Amino acid sequence: MTAPAGSLLAAEGLRKAYGPTVALDGAEFSIHPGEVVAVMGPSGSGKSTLLHCLAGIVTPDAGSILYDGRDLATMNDAQRSALRRSEFGFVFQFGQLVPELTCVENVALPLRLNGTSRKRAEQTALDWMRRLEVDDLAKKRPGEVSGGQGQRVAVARALVTSPRVVFADEPTGALDSLNGERVMELLTEAARSASTAVVLVTHEARVAAYSDREIVVRDGKSRDMERVV
């Protein structure tokens, strides 16, 4: 395939089935550096699967995914893991912070997985926590902080490696609208200032409104809403 000009991550003809359930049926996608793209659609439409495929967590049955000129299909699991460690960041709805580790240790985790020393990793982590206004929670454990705070810690963790793409799957799904918006604001602001691309899976229009562009997934097929108008 030929990726759209200037795109950082692009996919075409993605197909993925879990048993008899078809999650993706010829979906496509592209994102530019620094762009925030919302992936919307009804639940069960395959938007999470699209995100998992794009991030190299799940291998699609068919179709190609180009990241920075490299085809994810030709990479093995270790290479894709390394890519996720160093170039990607992740925010999920919940259940992603390691309950035993303190918040700052959680944020430092991706850096440490990349081999950064503990001290330096935690220093960087603290800087990012400051930017997301949760540096006062550094020594607390995830069980002791509120949902909104936890999600900000998760955002800090997603950004701590200065990734080129952040994948956010319903990052505000478990939050009320005030906390959700704050998280979205901080996420998009931080991402834009570092020209990090954000793939944002959500079913809430108000969350999607933080994006630059919107893609709707229905029945495993994608539609770029920019081209509609």
Partner 1 sequence: MRTARQWARDLAMGVRFAFGGGREGWTRALLTAVGVGLGVALLLLTTAVPNVLSVRDAREQARADHTFSQPPRPKAADTLVVADANTTYGERDVRGRLLEPEGPKAPLPPGVDRFPAAGEMVVSPALKDLLTSSDGTLLRERLPYRIAGTIAEQGLVGSHELAYYAGAKDLAPRIDNSRVARIVAFGEKVPGQTSERMDPVLILLILVVFTVLLMPVAVFIAAAVRFGGERRDRRLAALRLVGSDSRMTRRIAAGEALGGSLLGLVLGTVFFLIGRQAAGSVEVLGTSVFPSYLNPSPALAVLVAVAVPAASVLVTLFALRGVVIEPLGVVRTAKPARRRLWWRLLLPLGGLAMLYPMVGQGRENGDFNQYLVTGGVLLLLVGVTALLPWIVEAVVARLGGGSVAWQLAVRRLQLSSGTAARMVNGIAVAVAGAIALQMLFAGVEGDYTEATGKDLRRAQMQVHLGADGGGSDAGERFRATKGVRTVTQLSMGSLSDRRKNPEQSASITVGDCAALRELATLPSCRDGDVFELTGAEYDDGASALVKPGRTLYLDPSYDEDPGREIPWTVPRRGLREAASVDGLLGFKADGLLLTPGALRKGAGGAVASTAVSAPASALDSSLGSALSSEIYLRLDRSVPDAAEYVRNTAARVDPLADAMTWTSTRESEKFTAIRQGLFVGAACVLALIGASLLVSQLEQLRERRKLLSSLVAFGTRRRTLGLSVLWQTAIPIALGLLLASVVGLTLGSVLLRMSAAKVRVDWPSVLSMTGIGAGVVLTVTLLSLPPLARLMRADGLRTE
Partner 2 sequence: MSIGHTLLGLLESGPRHGYDLKRAFDEKFGHDRPLHYGQVYSTMSRLLKHGLVEVDGIEAGDGPERKRYAITEAGITDVERWLGTPEKPEPYLQSTLYTKVVLALLTHRDAADILDTQRAEHLRSMRILTDRKRKGDLADQLICDHALFHLEADLRWLELTAARLDKLRQAVVSP
Is residue 223 a contact residue for partner 2 (CB under 8 A)?
yes
Is residue 43 a contact residue for partner 2 (CB under 8 A)?
no
Report residue 159: phi and psi, to 5°.
-95, -10
* C-alpha torsion 128→132→137→142, nearest 10: -90
What is the separation, in whole angstroms, between the first and last Cα of the chain?
Answer: 25
Among 96, 123, 162, 179, binds partner 1 (CB under 8 A): 96
- Whether residue 104 contacts residue 122, with contact meaning beta carbons closer than 8 Å, is answered with yes
Is residue 64 a contact residue for partner 1 (CB under 8 A)?
no
Is residue 132 a contact residue for partner 2 (CB under 8 A)?
no
Q: Which of residues 170-199 bind partner 2 (CB under 8 A)?
A: 185
17 binds, among partner 1, partner 2, none (CB under 5 to 8 A by kind): none
Give me the least distance between CB of 62 and partner 1, in Å please: 18
Give me the least distance between CB of 204 and partner 2, in Å please: 8
The label of the residue with tokens 């580790």 reads 101
The stretch near partner 2 (CB under 8 A) out of 2-10, 19-27, 52-60, 205-213 is: 205-213
> Residue 7 and residue 33: Cα distance in Å, rounded?
7
Q: At what angle do helices 103-113 and 118-131 cross, to 10 degrees?
A: 120
Cβ proximity to partner 2: between 133 and 136 the closer is 133
